[in-house]
């Protein structure tokens, strides 16, 4: 013989299931929520451009316009990555170790107007995960942030796979023209 559950018990079971489902969905949403990036750049127009582009890519952007603000913002939470202009207050590279420490070693991508091997080597030696030489394309920034593990890798199905790219010595990108390679 099958007995029906009392309505109060049935209602409690249904409400409990709905609540558990909502809690699980909330947890999943937080896990796949927007990645927070800290952008440290003196030029307000450049910050606005970077913020608008990265926000359009579904990322949460926190901005700093000088070294003091950068350190204050770095103390204010966890970041998936940092984009730091080497020219901030003339001390961007000197700021790098403090930013790395305060952001729990989040990968830092440096932007520099100074191309060349000494700048790249120094930046990477100080702990930068990557370097972009200005001017660069916004897609180059997005690609580098993905390569250093600051943002998830897009998967073929349109979902994101998180995790850093394979370990390496850091990435250096430049939008300067390169010599075409001959076929051999």
Query: What's the CATH code of the domain at 132?
Result: 3.40.50.2300
The verdict on residue 73 lying in a domain is yes
Residue 11 is assigned to a structural domain of this protein: no
- Distance CA(179)–CA(149), nearest Å, equals 29
Domain around 112: 33-155+169-174
Is 98 domain-assigned?
A: yes
pLDDT at 176: 40
pTM of the predicted protein model: 0.68
In a domain, residue 118? The reply is yes
Q: Is 62 within the bounds of a domain?
A: yes
Q: What CA–CA distance (Å, rounded) separates 83 from 74?
A: 12
Average pLDDT, 10 consecutive residues per value, the chain (184 residues): 51 52 41 76 96 94 96 93 90 88 91 81 90 93 95 59 41 42 39
Structure tokens given for 150: 């600051």
Pick from 89, 93, 88: which is nearest to 131 by CA?
93
Q: What is the rounded (10 degree) CA torsion for 147, 166, 92, 73?
A: 80
Domain presence at residue 84? yes
Structural domains counted in the chain:
1
* Position 42 in a domain: yes
Look up residue 131 and give its two tokens. 């370097």
- Strand ranges in 114-170 using DSSP code E only, listed in sequence order: 130-133, 153-154, 160-161
**Per-residue tokens: 71:** 């350190």
- For 115-149, b/e burial (b = at least 16 CB within 10 A) is eeeebbeebbeeebbbbbbeebeeeebbbbbbbbb
Answer yes or no: is 38 within a domain.
yes
């Amino acid at each position: 013989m099958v007995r029906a559950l009392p309505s109060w018990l049935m209602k409690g079971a249904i409400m409990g299931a709905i609540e558990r489902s909502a809690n699980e969905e909330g947890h999943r949403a937080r896990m796949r929520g927007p990645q927070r990036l800290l952008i440290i750049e003196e030029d307000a127009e450049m910050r606005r451009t970077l913020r608008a582009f990265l926000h359009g890519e579904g990322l949460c952007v926190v901005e700093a316009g000088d070294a003091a603000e950068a350190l204050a913002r770095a103390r204010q939470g966890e970041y998936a990555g940092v984009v730091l202009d080497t020219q901030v207050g003339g001390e961007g590279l000197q700021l790098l170790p403090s930013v790395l420490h305060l952001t729990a070693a989040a990968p830092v991508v440096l932007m520099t107007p100074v191309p060349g091997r000494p700048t790249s080597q120094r930046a990477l030696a100080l702990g930068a995960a990557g370097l972009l030489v200005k001017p660069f394309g916004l897609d180059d920034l997005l690609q580098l942030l993905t390569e250093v593990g600051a943002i998830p890798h897009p998967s073929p199905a349109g979902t994101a796979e998180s995790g850093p790219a394979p370990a390496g010595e850091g990435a250096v990108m430049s939008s300067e023209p390169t010599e075409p390679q001959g076929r051999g």
